[in-house]
């Protein structure tokens, strides 16, 4: 268990663990690992946990000779969350960042996120900040730009942040989140049973609510890859709905425990719209993965029960616009629809 220094000693940089769980992704792993080892922040360890890959991952890792690199070879596949927790259990850093094997960091990512825990923010010491996240660049399998995530102010309360998350106004990718290692461990690690697809979100949301505030860096420090071979593009819509609903229930329960009934009620009202937007996003993602446009429209019809009233129709309209019209036109129409809906 890592000691939790509530206010990190500003005379000494905290140690940061960059965890890279991997499975059969040798084509992308080099970029992820190189980006971790090239950080300007020096007090790091990089843990790569190979989940019994059958490709040339181990041979690739054998080419690296760095004191700060720790390689774990799993004898059997532990599943995604089991591999995440293997990294967490091995971590000796006070701060923890989970870097997917197909994502990559900008050189100053760790330095800028760790410094917020080290020095705090104006009017906020680090003990009141549960997580630090940054703006992410979203890229495709070839590294071409798709877009950017949505983010908030430098510091905002957990109640505002969580509500904005369920309004789809906050984008939090695992590679762009730093937390205290001890905080994640206090939850028992990443809960893959209750949240098979959103264990990372469960962790940072629970920790943010506990600590009370979230810090954001308004700068692209991480790159989140979306392509046909990552988990988010392969799972079914029903699985996402279940995880989202469990996430909402967890946050509602924690706000109620704190006596924050207003935030709890807000999330109850927001979850249906959040699920509808999540479904629409997955359908649009399937088109990025070369699904036929006609099949994508069928997916909207099949999942019509999740789109409620006029609000649901606006979400469908935005999704269809994104699928069929050029991006330059869709941005203008989406702006108009957002004003109406």
Q: What is the pLDDT of residues 14-27, one digit of tens each?
A: 999 999 999 999 99
Would you state the structure tokens that stand for residue 17, as one six-digit string?
């663990």
Q: Are 280 and 316 in contact (CB under 8 A)?
A: yes
Taking residues 99-110, report their average pLDDT. 98
Q: What is the mean pLDDT of the chain?
A: 85
**More confident position, 239 or 79:** 79
pLDDT score for 61: 97
Domain ranges for the chain, please list them: 16-233, 237-340
Q: How does residue 234 score in pLDDT terms, banded at 50, 70 and 90?
A: very low
The pLDDT assigned to 304 comes to 66
**pTM, 2 dp:** 0.83
Categorize the per-residue pLDDT at 125 as very low, low, confident or very high, splitting at 50, 70 and 90: confident
* Cβ atoms 5, 14 nearer than 8 A: yes
Tell me the pLDDT band of 142, cut-offs 50, 70 and 90: confident
Of the candidates 318, 320, 307, the residue with the CA atom closest to the CA atom of residue 341: 318
pLDDT in tens, 172-199: 999 999 999 999 999 999 999 999 989 9
Residue 228 has pLDDT above 60, yes or no: no
Give the N- to C-terminal CA distance of the chain in Å, as an integer.
48
- Selected residue with higher pLDDT from 236 and 62: 62
Which CATH number is associated with domain 16-233?
3.90.550.10
Q: What is the 3-state secondary structure (H, E, C) of 262-293?
A: HHHHHHHHHHHHHHHHHHHHHHHHHHHCCCCH
Determine which of 25-29, 34-38, 47-51, 323-327 has the lowest per-residue pLDDT on average: 323-327
* Section 237-256 average pLDDT: 89
Higher-confidence residue of 116 and 281: namely: 116
The predicted model gives 226-235 an average pLDDT of 54
**Residue 323 pLDDT grade (very low, low, confident, very high; cuts 50, 70, 90):** low
User: 220 phi and psi, to 5 degrees?
Assistant: -70, 110
| Residue 109 or 274, more confident | 109
**171 near 178, Cβ under 8 Å?**
no
Q: How far apart, in whole angstroms, are the C-alpha atoms of residue 103 and residue 226?
A: 9
Q: Which residue has the higher pLDDT, 20 or 326?
A: 20
- Is 2 a residue whose pLDDT tops 60? no
Of all helices (H) and strands (E), which one includes residue 44? strand 44-50
Q: Mean pLDDT throughout 80-108?
A: 98
Specify the pairing of strand 213-225 against strand 177-180: unpaired
Q: What is the DSSP string of 151-195?
A: ---SEEEHHHHHHHHHTT-----GGGEEEEHHHHHHTTS--TTT-
Range 134-150 average pLDDT: 88
Give the tens place of pLDDT for each residue, 39-87: 999 999 999 999 999 999 999 999 999 999 999 999 999 999 999 999 9
């Amino acid at each position: 268990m890592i000691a939790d220094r509530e206010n990190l000693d500003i005379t000494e940089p905290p140690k940061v663990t960059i965890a890279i769980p991997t499975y059969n992704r040798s084509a992308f792993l080099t970029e992820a690992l190189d980006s971790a080892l090239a950080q300007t922040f020096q007090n790091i360890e990089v843990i790569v946990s190979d989940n019994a890959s059958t490709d040339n991952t181990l041979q690739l890792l054998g080419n690296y000779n760095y004191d700060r690199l720790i390689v774990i070879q799993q004898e059997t596949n532990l599943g995604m969350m089991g591999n995440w927790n293997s990294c967490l259990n091995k971590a000796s850093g006070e701060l923890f960042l989970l870097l997917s094997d197909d994502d990559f960091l900008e050189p100053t990512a760790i330095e800028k996120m760790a410094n917020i825990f080290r020095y705090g923010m104006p009017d906020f010491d680090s003990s009141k900040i549960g997580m630090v996240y940054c703006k992410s660049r979203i890229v495709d399998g070839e590294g071409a730009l798709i877009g950017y995530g949505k983010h908030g102010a430098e510091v905002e309360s957990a109640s505002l942040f969580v509500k904005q998350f369920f309004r789809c106004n906050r984008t939090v990718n695992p590679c762009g989140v730093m937390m205290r290692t001890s905080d994640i461990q206090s939850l028992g690690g990443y809960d893959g049973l209750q949240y098979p697809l959103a264990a990372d979100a469960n962790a940072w949301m629970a920790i943010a609510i506990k600590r009370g505030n979230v810090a954001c860096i308004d700068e692209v420090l991480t790159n989140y890859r979306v392509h046909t071979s990552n988990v988010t593009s392969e799972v079914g819509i029903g699985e996402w709905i279940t995880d989202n609903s469990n996430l909402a229930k967890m946050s509602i329960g924690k706000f109620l425990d704190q006596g924050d009934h207003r935030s709890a009620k807000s999330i109850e009202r927001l979850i249906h719209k959040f699920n509808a937007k999540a479904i629409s996003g997955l359908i649009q993602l399937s088109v990025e993965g070369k699904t036929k446009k006609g099949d994508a429209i069928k997916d909207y019809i099949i999942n019509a029960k999740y789109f409620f009233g006029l609000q649901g129709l606006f979400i469908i309209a935005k999704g269809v616009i994104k699928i069929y019209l050029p991006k330059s036109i869709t941005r203008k129409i989406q702006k108009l629809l957002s004003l109406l809906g």
